Amino acid sequence: MSEKQGLFEAADKGTIFFDEISSVGLETQAKLLRVMQDREFMRLGGTKTLRVDVRIIAATNTDLEVLIDQKAFRKDLFYRLNVIKIPLPPLRDRKDDIPLLVKHFLDVYARENGKTIEGVSEDVLEILEGHEWEGNVRELENLIERAVVFARAPIITRDNLPEGILSPARGEAAEGPGADVDGQSLRDQTLAFQKRLIEATLRKAKGIQKNAARLLDVKPTTLNEMIKRLGIDVDEF
């Protein structure tokens, strides 16, 4: 087996960010702890010990101390990580951040979809700042991604927002007779809508992703990523 440079070696003298550290398995936790304590590791397939100097930043929306009680997270790793703790309030408690986050996500998804998006209209920004964001920043990101995908102009308007955020009552009615959206967050409903739309487009395109991407006015790579994320079986079409 050939030796391969890993993340720690690549990040030497730099920083590694672990998002959702709570999802890391116990075996990997043990390896991570060793690198943090000894500042050394061995390449996969290698025989030589390498030393690194890396800053580690970890994030989680799960109470790690609860996971420790459940034997799902190592206590020693927790104490190694918990040197400086920065609590981050939910988005609903820091709505001044919404304009900056909106601009960031617009830039990301406009570039990803090959579009020029200059911003959002004033009434859209008011709607976003008035929303409760139960799904936190990820819900906002998902909504902006959707808006960019459906945008046909440089400015995001109300027409690009899902009904659920404009009016919950209209949003439920729009699902159609017999639809059950009780207990579903806006993010869940948005993802369900995306899945139905992509499936319908794939059906129309006879399963050819390139043609489906053209109909949806998105890049084939973007569509492929959405298909994977939504768990769509392309072979059905």
Q: Tell me: the pLDDT tens digits for 163-216?
A: 778 765 434 434 443 344 455 566 677 778 888 888 888 888 888 888 888 888
Which residue is associated with the tokens 């690194």?
A: 52
How far lies 180's CA from each of 111, 163, 220, in Å?
35, 15, 32
Q: Which residues of 161-173 are buried (b: 16+ CB within 10 A; e: fewer)?
A: bbbbbeeeeebbe
Confidence of residue 42 (pLDDT cuts 50, 70, 90): low
Domain range enclosing 76: 7-81
Summarised one tens digit per residue, pLDDT across range 66-93 is 999 999 999 999 999 998 888 888 898 9
Query: pTM score > 0.75 for this model?
Result: no
CATH of the domain at 169: 1.10.8.60
Of 27, 59, 81, which residue sits at a domain end?
81
Percentage of the chain beyond pLDDT 90 is 28
| Residues facing residue 17 across a β-bridge | 57
Alpha carbons 188 and 197: distance in angstroms, whole number: 14
98 and 48 inside one domain:
no
Q: How many CB atoms lie within 10 A of CB 184?
A: 16
Helix (H, G, I), strand (E, B) or coil at 181: coil
Higher pLDDT, 50 or 184: 50
Output the CA torsion 89→225→218→145 (10° steps).
Answer: -10
| Residues facing residue 56 across a β-bridge | 16
Rounded to 5°, the CA angle 173-176-181 comes to: 70
Q: Which two tokens stand for residue 19?
A: 């998002």
Summarised one tens digit per residue, pLDDT across range 104-161 is 999 999 999 899 999 999 999 999 998 988 888 988 999 999 999 889 899 999 989 8
Of 81, 110, 132, which residue sits at a domain end?
81
